[in-house]
Amino acid sequence: MKVSRSLKNVILIELFVPITLLILGIYHGLMQTVYRAGVIHQSSAVKLDYYQGLTLHGVINAVVLTTFFAVAFGHATITYYLKKEPNKKATWTSLILMVTGTLLAAYAMLAGKASVLYTFYPPLKAHPLFYIGTAMLIVGSWVPLFDWLNVYRQWKRENPHTKIPLAVLGTLVNFIIWFTCTLAVAYEVLVLLLPWALGFKATVNVTLARTLFWFFGHALVYFWLLPAYIMFYTMLPKIAGGKLYSDNAGRIALFLFLLLSVPVGVHHQFSDPNISQSSKWVSTILTFGVAVPSFITAFTLAASLEYAGKKNGAKGLFGWMGKLPYLDHNKYMFGYMIAGLILFIFGGLTGIVNSSYALNNVVHNTSWLPGHFHMTVAGPVFLAMIGMSLYLLSALTGKKIFLPKLNVVVPYLWMIGVLIFSAGLMYGGLMGEPRRTNLGMTYLNPNHELYHPQWVPSTLLALAGGIIMFAAGMCYFIVFFGTIFKKKTQEAEVYLPDSESYHDEKYIPLFNSFKPWIIMMVIIIIIAYVPTILDVLRLGGPGAPPHLPSSPTPGL
């Protein structure tokens, strides 16, 4: 489908900006492993502090890249499946807000005035521009949702008994989750943190801020994940040469994410003493529940790929696995998605450990946790995003992929790096290795009294994985920017591989309507969070003065 020049430029900018910043994000990811392995025994290198780099790594990779991509991909899915472009004024307003907010936050971080990590927990205090920029990025990402809903309503009036295209359903579910969860963090930033950063308030309620952040923070994981799920259900079977085993299974999985994504955030606060055991128990149950759509997806995709493999000539029980286009450079998106799915198996299993109250106490605040979420965020999320960014770049510019044989290797090289890297982090975490800590200053410095030689193997393993991931990232940048500078050889258009459903499943109104699911989502959120918020307001304690990395004594 051809798109207007305006929409094409918006999508390309929304891809170019985060991928360019990603160079800085991946560099600082490598530097984290270098610091933690004890290669550097100081607080900074190349005039960038450890925590400054950790903040840049987290914010660019986990917030900027994911938000820009989700909006760009949403524009593509809505336009392609509903055959109508979003409003021009809305798309440009959204883009300007997001780019301006990103630049403001980037200035604060690069200037060393916002080394508060991507969680920006108080009493760590950032420059006001960091909070203003974050708020602008969030508000900018809200604009497309309301515009897409107008496009969807118009389509629905014209097609009252037609199934909502699965990709459109996924996009709208994702941004309804995003809008709901970001209301809390917008309140946190604008009402609690910004007045405090500007000096209008002397203290801040730390536990309330943490609770509002995690109302947003865990749902953010599904905001990252759902674009990948859309690709898995609507594109992966087609690219593999088969069909989607069940369209309704995809709808059930997506609506279950709508119900359960937001209310599970309390499991990040299992160690907070001023939240009741009952609230934590509810969060545990809901977190186990959110594994259900992942199991549904695992079964559905396995069945879809088995059909593809057998259609390609496979025989025997597992012969289909060898008949998939792993290294076909013309179907390179398969590699980006299958490598992410392999990592997601391990990410999901380790996530079940984190959701258990008892087991979480063993790994809490250890390097196990970043080992887990790199298998999810740096697995299916990251690989699907960078693969589709390359796909959309090629389609919208009419340029063929630069070095296609190198491109098809990138996801597998990245997968190997993540497996090694995360194994090192989780191995160290089980031995008590802390997260968010410059180990090279103390624990991995042989000349320091706190030296822990038992963490040397785990940090070196993580370093080896980090180096492989960095190499894969550099290969990707060569392909991405090389494609930008190639000559146009084909007509520019948006074409998304659309998987045909294996079963002609009956139209079920419940799976084609948002209203009942949104009502249930609100009810579950109230059950999960009203008691938690009351606990925090009642037992939050006195407000905290600011804590700056340069001044260990609060308030000085």
Full set of structural domains in the chain with CATH: 5-490+511-539 (1.20.210.10)
Q: Per-residue confidence of the chain (556 residues) as pLDDT tens digits?
A: 789 999 999 999 999 999 999 999 999 999 999 999 999 999 988 888 999 999 999 999 999 999 999 999 999 999 999 999 999 999 999 999 999 999 999 999 999 999 998 888 888 899 999 999 999 999 999 999 999 999 999 999 999 889 999 999 999 999 999 999 999 999 999 999 999 999 999 889 999 999 999 999 989 999 999 999 999 999 999 999 999 999 999 999 999 999 999 999 898 888 888 889 899 889 889 988 988 999 999 999 999 999 999 999 999 889 999 999 999 999 999 999 999 999 999 988 888 888 777 788 888 889 999 999 899 899 999 999 999 999 999 999 999 999 999 999 999 999 999 999 999 999 999 999 999 999 999 999 999 999 999 999 999 999 999 999 999 999 999 999 999 999 998 888 888 999 999 988 888 999 999 999 999 999 999 999 999 999 999 887 777 777 765 554 544 4
- Give pLDDT, residue 556: 41
Instruction: Out of 35, 73, 80, 222, pick the active-site residue.
Output: 222
Burial 56-80, CB ≥16 within 10 A → b, else e = bbbbbbbbbbbbbbbbbbbbbbbbb
| Angle of the 5-36 helix axis to the 88-110 helix axis, nearest 10 | 20
Give the tokens for residue 250: 């995809």
**Catalytic residue status for 373:** yes
Neighbour tally for 553: CB within 10 Å: 8
Residue of 364, 435, 477, 514 marked catalytic: 435
What's the chain's Rg over C-alpha atoms? 23
Q: Which helix (H) or strand (E) holds 49?
A: strand 48-49
Which letter, b or e, does each residue of 411-436 get, where b requires 16 or more Cβ atoms within 10 Å of its Cβ?
bbbbbebbbbbbbbbbbbbeebbebe
* Residue 124, strand partner residues: 547
Considering the candidates 57, 75, 372, 452, report the single residue annotated as catalytic.
Answer: 372
Distance of CA 9 to CAs 92, 182, 284, 302, 393, Å?
10, 27, 44, 37, 11
Kindly give, in sequence order, each residue whose CB lies less than 8 Å from that of residue 325, ignoring residues fewer than 6 positions away: 239, 240, 241, 331, 334
Residue 122 and residue 204 in contact, taking contact as beta carbons nearer than 8 Å: yes
How far apart CA 392 and CA 375 sit, in angstroms, is: 25
Is residue 370 within 8 Å of 57, Cβ to Cβ?
no
- Of 71, 248, 298, nearest to 171 (Cα)? 71
* DSSP 8-state class, residue 463: H
Strand-pairing partners, residue 551, are 548
Q: Do 440 and 43 meet the contact criterion of CB atoms below 8 Å apart?
A: no
| Residue 239 structure tokens | 């690219």
Specify the pTM: 0.95
Q: What angle do CA 532, 533, 539 make, to 5 degrees?
A: 90
Q: What share of the chain is helix, strand, coil (3-state, %, to 5)?
A: 70, 5, 25
User: What was the pLDDT predicted at 8?
Assistant: 96
Cα separation, 117 vs 111, whole angstroms: 14
DSSP one-letter string for 132-198: HHHHHHHHHHHHHHHHHHHHHHHHHHH-TTSPPPHHHHHHHHHHHHHHHHHHHHHHIIIIIIHHHHT
Phi-psi region of 517 (alpha: psi -120 to 50; beta: other; left: phi over 0): alpha
Angle between helices 292-311 and 332-355 (to 10 degrees): 150
| Residue 218 falls in the annotated catalytic set | yes
Catalytic residue among 41, 436, 451, 481: 436
Q: What local confidence, expressed as pLDDT, does residue 267 receive?
A: 86
H or E element at residue 45: strand 44-45
36 is catalytic: no
| Confidence (pLDDT) at 348 | 86
| Tokens (6 digits) for 7 | 């929409």
Residue 44, classed as helix, strand or coil, is strand
Query: CA torsion sign, 204 to 206 to 211 to 215?
Result: positive
Structure tokens at 82: 């509903």
Please spell the DSSP secondary structure of 66-131, one letter per residue. Answer: HHHHHHHHHHHHHHHHHS-PPPHHHHHHHHHHHHHHHHHHHHHHHTTS--STTTT-TTB---HHHH
The pLDDT score that the predictor gives to residue 24 is 95
**Catalytic pick among 374, 402, 443, 476:** 374
Q: Give the list of residues 6+ apart from residue 530 with CB closer than 8 angstroms, or none.
A: none
